[in-house]
Amino acid sequence: MATLDHIRNFSIIAHIDHGKSTLADRLLEISGAVNARDMRAQYLDSMDLERERGITIKLQSVQIDWADHKLHLIDTPGHVDFGYEVSRSLAACEGVVLVVDASQGIEAQTLANCYLALENDLEIVACLNKIDLPAAEPERVAAEIESVLGIPADQVLHISAKTGEGVGALLDAVIERIPAPEGDKDADLQALIFDSHFDQYRGVVSSVRVMNGVMRTNQKLSFLQAGSTHSAEEIGVRRPINTPTKELGPGEVGYLIAGIKDVGEARSGETVTGFGHPGEPLDGYAEPKPMVFCGLYPVEGDAFEELRESLEKLRLNDSSFTYEPETSGALGFGFRCGFLGLLHMEIVRERLEREFDLSLIATAPSVNYEVETTAGEMLQVHNPSSLPPPTEIEQISEPQLRMTILTPAEYVGTIMELCLSRRGEQRSMEYLSPERVEFVYRLPLAEVVIDFFDALKSRTQGYASLDYDTDGYLPAELVRVDIMLSGENVDAFSAIVHKERSYEYGRRTAEKLKELIPRQQFDVPIQAAIGGQIIARETVKAFRKDVTEKLYGGDITRKRKLLEKQKAGKKRMKSIGKVDIPPDTFIKALRMD
């Protein structure tokens, strides 16, 4: 067990693609934690999805040795949707390494994560990465860091995570500048679980940071929030392979396996103490609030229970999404899930399909609305089908975002135009330097949720970056657009949209369905309606079999008689016939494009 003054706990924070995972690779390499033969890029990113997309989704911890010190490094995600993971890892640290790309400079997430670190009173060691690039401008970016974040330019280290230049000096700076953890090894045990995942052979594996006291193998432990007791089967540290140890002292970060099978008993933010001598519970984490909702339904109806179990297991590893059962006339039984953002939604859905071998249909994303009824009730509505009829609604309020956008100065006009077209309201505009501008806008979440990020990137050739935070609710003129097939409402296609956009949404959905729904033996009208008013219509034309082909010339009345007979048959069929919609129609129509 290392003494407190020889331990340092730190996290790496940065904007997406500024080189966090590459820096973590170099730290593992130069400290000898991983030998050269086993080294691979993105070493700590263990999920296939992370490696394919080149992004970090889950925080990962690892212990490395440097200059007689034990350093615990926690690698964090950079994407705005996973800010919750970052806040959790910061709770286990005393300092952070802030990485800024020497060619791109400060981006929106750099600011957001930096403020998060300052809120937690953490020491910040700033460094400029990618100094080996021809486009690198370390002096300009260091001056930008000094003017925006107040970190003196001469204290900003210059490194290249790719070549390893300056990485040793960075580790020395971590030891020098980041304070040692505080803790009392003679006090009652207090440890914080900051992450967990489910291993099918060993049960729940939790990442823990010991604050006070000592955790020992085979010790009986109390989990305060869950109110349960378990014995520590194995404790150890990740170097980066799990290495069992006899005990973990104060300030140390490691893992705990206690044979827990129920995924709810070792949630992130849980406090672990010794049985019989319970310490005080530690501050956990604020529960993240889901911002985007969508329905997830199994393509095979009988896979509902399987989906429920898979969601339970995945929620242990990613506690920031929520789910509750719901039913749909068109899609059967499924779950209404809440996510932190669109990328988060996409990742969770893809993980369910890959890790648990499910086939899923996801409905169009929606957000949470506050509805005040004429009877004076306040309702929370995040499923369009549960919106009351227009006559019973006093007003609907929609969630707003406070969005910070950083962009090169030449794109100022296009960004203003984009935000205005999404009902945005400008709060401020500030030049951080002659080339870079910071905008602050207030935008409705519903306008951001579909494709705002893509539109922003394509209009600024990828140079703009954004960060957002929730900003309360505002009343708005919103209506529910229903889609009807042959006069019957299909709830899977309902959406709550702004009144000005309702006609466009209705027309676009009707046109899309016209292409996707196969032709039937009778005409199928597709209608978009608000309340009782039809705002758009398309028709899928019926097959027409040529019933007169067996006639050869002759009297027209014979042809007419056969056609009338066919018409009567189709009319009868229409009165008893239902529209036959293959399941992949829903998948294609609900796919966001």
Q: Is 9 annotated as a binding residue?
A: no
Which range has the top average pLDDT, 37-51, 150-164, 328-342, 514-528? 150-164
Q: What is the DSSP letter of 492?
A: G
Q: Is the pLDDT of residue 515 over 60?
A: yes
Q: Is 344 annotated as a binding residue?
A: no
| Domain residue spans of the chain | 4-177, 190-274, 293-365, 370-476, 481-494+504-590
Q: Give the pLDDT of residue 388.
A: 87
What's the mean pLDDT in 203-230? 86
Domain 293-365 classification at class level: alpha beta
Q: Is 131 annotated as a binding residue?
A: yes
Q: Which amino acid is at 242?
A: N
What's the mean pLDDT in 268-279? 78
What's the mean pLDDT in 506-513? 88
What's the mean pLDDT in 501-530? 85
Lowest mean pLDDT among 52-56, 75-79, 243-247: 52-56
DSSP string, 66-104: ETTEEEEEEE---SGGGHHHHHHHHTT-SEEEEEEETTT
- Cβ contact 406:106 at 8 Å: yes
Tokens matching residue 470: 């929730």
Q: Give the pLDDT of residue 425.
A: 92
Burial pattern 455-494, b for ≥16 Cβ within 10 A else e, equals: ebeebbeebbbbbbeebebeebebbbbbbbbbeeebbbbb
Q: What percent of the chain has pLDDT over 90?
A: 11
CATH 3.30.70.240 assigned to domain 370-476? The reply is yes
Which is higher by pLDDT, 100 or 553? Answer: 100
Q: Give the pLDDT of residue 285.
A: 61
Helix axes 108-119, 138-149, angle to 10 degrees: 50
Which is higher by pLDDT, 296 or 491? Answer: 296
Instruction: Report CA torsion sign: 36, 37, 41, 42.
Output: negative
Q: Is 17 annotated as a binding residue?
A: yes
Q: Is 19 annotated as a binding residue?
A: yes
Q: Give the pLDDT of residue 593.
A: 42
- Rounded to whole angstroms, the Cα distance separating 127 from 121 reads 19
Q: How far is CA 571 from CA 182, 248, 486, 549, in A?
A: 82, 78, 13, 21
Q: What angle do CA 128, 129, 133 make, to 5 degrees?
A: 115
- pLDDT-based confidence at 592, cuts 50/70/90? very low
Which is higher by pLDDT, 574 or 315? Answer: 315
Which is higher by pLDDT, 449 or 125? Answer: 125
Q: Is the pLDDT of residue 16 over 80?
A: no
Which is higher by pLDDT, 262 or 308? Answer: 308
Q: What is the DSSP letter of 5?
A: G
Q: Give the pLDDT of residue 441.
A: 93
What's the mean pLDDT in 387-404? 88
Query: φ, ψ for residue 410 (rounded to 5)?
Result: -70, -10
Q: Is 567 annotated as a binding residue?
A: no
What's the mean pLDDT in 83-99? 77
Which is higher by pLDDT, 197 or 405? Answer: 405
Q: What is the DSSP letter of 386?
A: G
- pLDDT-based confidence at 383, cuts 50/70/90? confident
pLDDT digits (tens, 9 = 90+) for 152-177: 988 899 999 888 888 899 999 999 99
As a whole number, the mean pLDDT across the chain is 82
**Residue 204: other Cβ atoms inside 10 A:** 25
Q: Give the pLDDT of residue 575.
A: 53
Nearest to 28 by CA among 39, 18, 17: 39
- The answer to whether 190-274 and 293-365 have equal CATH topology is no
- Rounded to whole angstroms, the Cα distance separating 341 from 346 reads 9
Lowest mean pLDDT among 70-79, 308-317, 341-350: 70-79
- pLDDT-based confidence at 417, cuts 50/70/90? very high
Domain 481-494+504-590 classification at class level: alpha beta
Lowest mean pLDDT among 1-5, 166-170, 236-240, 419-423: 1-5
Q: Is 21 annotated as a binding residue?
A: yes
The whole model's pTM is what?
0.69
pLDDT digits (tens, 9 = 90+) for 568-589: 776 666 555 566 666 566 666 6
- Residue 503 is inside which H or E element, if any? helix 499-516
- 190-274, what's its fold? Elongation Factor Tu (Ef-tu); domain 3 (2.40.30)
Q: Give the pLDDT of residue 195.
A: 78
What's the mean pLDDT in 348-357? 86
Name beta bridge partners: 210: 191
What's the mean pLDDT in 102-114? 82
pLDDT digits (tens, 9 = 90+) for 19-64: 887 888 888 888 877 766 666 665 555 556 555 665 655 567 788 8
Q: Give the pLDDT of residue 475.
A: 92
Homologous superfamily of domain range 4-177: P-loop containing nucleotide triphosphate hydrolases (3.40.50.300)
Q: Give the pLDDT of residue 571.
A: 67
